[in-house]
Amino acid sequence: MTNYRRFRVPGGTYYFAIRLQDRGSTLLLEEIDLLRMAMRVTKERKPFVLRDVVILPAQILMIVTLPQGDADYSNRWGMMKAIFSRHVPAPEDLSRTQLRRGEKGIWQRRFWEHVIRDAGDYERHRAHVLTAPVREGLVARPEDWRHSSIHRDGGLRGVRQAGGVILSAAE
């Protein structure tokens, strides 16, 4: 088994990108209620603070803070993926490796994580999360995407593009 080198900070704030195996899929949007339930159950069993999130057709981008003394994000995302996967049909084109491992073939095995180092790093990653639907060509403005924490947080206050251009006048 591969041992991935991950930088773990108990109680830390992290950026995550979690993808479906089929990047052209729209399963996360088709099953948005199931995904929300899987995230809610995971959060109840293994608490975390969901700071920012955007659900794209085949990817979840989020920033979370773990409880003090806890750096076990891998089991959280494994749990969330498993809960979701139990309730959707498996793709028909599973590889021999997936069949041998008993995998359902819905999610990529790995995910991207990054420890948020400071306020500037948080702002850059928050902008990356909330503006993802625009970069993907799904909407013209971040606030036009329904599946985003931007609506919970009252807009794009303080969110800037890499070049420093304010993306929205929402203040």
Percent of the chain past pLDDT 90, that is, above it, reads 65
pLDDT of 57-96, one tens digit each? 999 999 999 999 999 999 999 999 999 999 998 777 777 7
State yes or no: pLDDT of 165 exceeds 60: no
- Determine the distance from the C-alpha atom of residue 153 to the mean position of all C-alpha atoms in its chain, rounded to a whole number: 17
pLDDT band at residue 156, thresholds of 50, 70 and 90?
A: low
As given in the structure block, the two tokens for residue 83 are 């809960």
Q: What pTM was computed for the model? A: 0.85
Please state, rounded to an integer, the average pLDDT across all residues of the chain. Answer: 85
Q: What is the DSSP string of 27-78?
A: HHHHTHHHHHHHHHHHHHHS--EEEEEEEETTEEEEEEEPPTT---HHHHHH
- CATH classification code of 13-118: 3.30.70.1290
CA 68 to CA 24: how far, in whole Å?
37
